[in-house]
Amino acid sequence: MSRKRTPDRRQDRTRARRPRTVSLSMDDRGQTTQDFAVGIGLFLLAVAFVFLFLPTIGTPYESSAGADRAQADRIADRIVYDLSTETPNEIDGSGFNSEYNEKDLSTQLGLRASSSDDMVYDRINVSIEAFDGTPVDESELSGGDVYHNQSAASSARIVTIDDDGISADSSDCNPGCRLVVRVW
């Protein structure tokens, strides 16, 4: 019982009078939600890469804190090696007093230096400190330039002191002290 519908003339008249509109359905476009998510994800990764890369552009022109830290580490190793006694991590206090208790350690340790005081390249401070940071005996167990808490690269070694020949009290370094080398 299928009846065929007869065309309705009223419907044809209204269609003819209405202007046709352009359809904006998503079926005709080629973009899906997954395409949008992948595109935004790649864009965010590119922006993040740019922000992470920009600070490293100026790195060669900044100060060489890494080189100063390596230099301080090498000097601390040299001092421990040169002044070591038969006991592990024990340094000779009188040897430290005679070799590293000078004002001008730059030339002695092979650092860049000049003959005039106005042209100093590398400054260095070598000191023996207790674990709380207080100097053990500033007159005998420290040398180099005066350190006033300025920005410096430092290296430290835990040592004990063979205090024969120095007036520093051995109880200051019981059980040990820190050999601190600062370069700026």
pLDDT tens for each residue of 120-151: 567 888 988 888 878 777 667 888 888 888 88
- Tell me which H or E stretch contains 10: helix 9-17
Domain ranges of the chain: 64-183
Specify the pLDDT at position 7.
59
The span from the CA of 101 to the CA of 95, in Å, is 9
For 64-119, write each residue's pLDDT tens digit.
567 888 888 999 998 899 888 888 888 888 888 788 877 777 777 777 765 555 55
109 close to 78: Cβ distance less than 8 angstroms: yes
Place of tokens 């009223």: 10
| Type of residue at 160 | T
Q: Look at residue 40 and tell me whether its pLDDT is greater than 90.
A: yes
How much is the average pLDDT of 27-38? 77
Beta bridge partners of 124: 183
**How many CA atoms does the CB half-sphere of 82 hold within 13 Å?**
15
In angstroms, rounded to a whole number, what is the distance separating the alpha carbons of residues 136 and 81? Answer: 21
- pLDDT at position 156: 92
**pLDDT over 60 (residue 183):** yes
